Amino acid sequence: MDVLCSDKTGTLTRNVLEVGAVSAMPSFDRERVLVLAALASSEADQDPIDATIRQVAASISRGSAKERLVRWVPFDPATKMSEAFVGGEDGKEFRIAKGAFQVIAEVAEVPA
């Protein structure tokens, strides 16, 4: 696993969704994490969390970003996750999985 995004929303206390602190793993920064998270966020279903992530990512100037969405797998209640397959700057494809913490923890490929 290279990046794990987890959320703790303020919807119960303030009725507002916002991106708070981003703790990036080595070789990532806040901006890259948000740009990748936006690629893994659906525009079609109008999910408020996805919309918030896309809004924050759009405010970041990343003119040099070369990642592109190759394939989207929508959220599936049975698997409790959605996936985006993204073409990286080096031409290699990588996977971004987004979903329930316990599911992502199971599918993450963590080095020994």
- Give tens-digit pLDDT for 2-57: 666 665 555 556 667 888 888 887 888 888 888 888 888 888 877 888 898 889 98
Which residues face 16 on adjacent strands?
10
Q: Give mean pLDDT, residues 79-107.
A: 88
Can you give the pLDDT at residue 28? 84
Longest dimension (CA), the chain: 43
Catalytic residue status for 29: no
Instruction: Determine the Cα–Cα distance for residues 94 and 87; give it in Å rounded to an integer.
Output: 6
Mean residue pLDDT of the chain comes to 81
Phi, psi dihedral angles at 108 (to 5 degrees): -65, 140
Q: Confidence class of residue 85 from pLDDT cuts 50, 70 and 90?
A: very high
Summarize the confidence of residues 58-85 as an average pLDDT: 83
For 26, the token pair is 């080595």
Which of 2, 7, 47, 90 is flagged as catalytic?
Answer: 7
Average pLDDT for residues 45-74, to the nearest whole number?
Answer: 82
Which amino acid belongs to residue 92? K
pLDDT at 9: 54
**Residue (of 80, 56, 81, 84) closest to 70 by Cα position:** 84
What residues contact 12, with CB distance under 8 A and at least 6 apart?
A: none
Q: What pLDDT score was predicted for residue 93?
A: 93
Radius of gyration, alpha carbons of the chain: 14
For helices 48-58 and 30-39, the axis angle rounded to 10 degrees is 130
Q: What is the rounded end-to-end Cα distance, in angstroms, of the chain? A: 11
